[in-house]
Amino acid sequence: MSVEDRLLRHAIEAHKAGRLIEAEAAYRRILRKRPADADALNFLGMLTCQTGSAAAAAGLLRKSVDADPTNAHAWLNLGNVLVATGDAHEARAAFVKATELAPQLPMAWFNLGVCLGRCSLPREAAAALHRALKLEPGYIPAYESLALLLNRLGSHAEAAEVYRDWLAQEPHNPIAKHMLAATAGQGAPVRADDGFVRQTFDNFASSFDENLKALDYRAPQWVAERLAREVASHASMEVLDAGCGTGLCGVLLKPLARRLVGVDLSSGMVDKARARELYDELAVQELCEFMRSRPGTFDVVVSADTLCYFGALEEPLAAARGCLRKGGILTVTLERLDPGASGDPYRLETHGRYSHAEAYVRSAVAQAGFGEIQLEERVLRSERGQNVLGHLVLARVSQLPGGSGQA
């Protein structure tokens, strides 16, 4: 074994152990002696990507595959780095090459499938993801990506089958369980499981704001504008942002609040909200539990697109009523159930959220102890070129908790 081969082994061991400076120095020492060493270029490329320079990493990985075009893993690494640079089409070519060289490698088919989806080739993406699962039925990320893709294509029955297969591998996975009920149209729970909500939003926390911006998301704007009309310019209220997410509502609510509190089930989302430095208090907790722990504390409870993870509204509305003071205000958004689609009070939609009938919303809000109920129809966001209609609700406390008379 040559000196460079021994040094490469040492560099890889240091790299795996997280000693990146040591590993980088060793890779570069090898490349000074052997500039076309495909393995050193490959590993240095991945290390460079780890330390934050995807463009430089892509250059190193291109040199690696030029030096050894038969290394499927180097092509796979190149594809991953190109995705990070935003070049999905060149990444696609790299992933195709990886699948040609290693047709039995599930990760190559999975990455190709995800990339094809980004290239607006959904059916080709689905075929690649199916191939990954055929090679490795326990490859969990492929189930989630494939089912999500099929659901977006409107192939809900196919998506349901994928969720069933996923549950066979992970019987207690909360996302697979909830989304099977949503896509199969049966067995819907009265509210989304906490595990589903937590895991979903922890996964989306890093890209949440950008994704919603692309959907022209307007729910925070609607609740803040409606609240501002109700309370004029007073900034003396204690406001609870129930389901605060990354703090999109907080930006708009802060001028109206003497004290602004946020609660969310997802720690990833709360971390993003904390970075905005808007809230006087932030809690990672189930929102009904939190509201029940703060009786008579708040002047306002705001909840933008959070109660759409509840089918039955009685529990969260009662909890909101209990944490409000005399004369307190509730303002929330909910997705609208098409009155011609069903006679049900609410329905779990194929995207995993609940829509609610207007009559049911009015009844549930009143039964929780609120009066002066106002509902307005609003466009909450756009999805796949269509407006998502919702209810913008504002109501005031009219009864003591338990409905024991006027407050």
pLDDT tens digit sequence for 341-400: 778 999 999 999 999 999 999 999 999 999 999 999 999 988 777 888 999 999 999 865
pLDDT at 407 over 50: no
Query: Is CATH 3.40.50.150 the classification given to domain 207-397?
Result: yes
Structure tokens at 178: 């909830």
What pLDDT does 342 receive? 73
- Region 16-29 average pLDDT: 93
pLDDT tens digit sequence for 26-44: 999 999 999 999 999 999 9
- Which residues, other chains included, contact 236 with Cβ-Cβ below 8 Å and sequence gap of 6+? 258
Going from N- to C-terminal start, the domains of the chain cover: 1-102, 116-187, 207-397
pLDDT tens digit sequence for 162-175: 999 999 999 999 99
pLDDT tens digit sequence for 231-240: 865 668 999 9
Structure tokens at 32: 């000074």
Q: What is d(CA 24, CA 30) in angstroms, rounded to the nearest whole number?
A: 10
Find the Cα–Cα–Cα–Cα dihedral 6, 9, 14, 15, rounded to 10°: 140
Q: Do the first three CATH levels of 1-102 and 116-187 match, i.e. the same topology?
A: yes
Find the Cα–Cα–Cα–Cα dihedral 85, 90, 92, 93, rounded to 10°: -150
Query: Measuring CA to CA, which residue among 328, 300, 274, 275 is closest to residue 283?
Result: 274
Burial category of 213 from C-beta neighbours within 10 Å (exposed 0-12, middle 13-18, buried 19 and up): exposed
Q: What is d(CA 195, CA 184) in angstroms, rounded to the nearest whole number?
A: 20
pTM (two decimals): 0.86
Fold of 116-187: 1.25.40
Fold of 1-102: 1.25.40
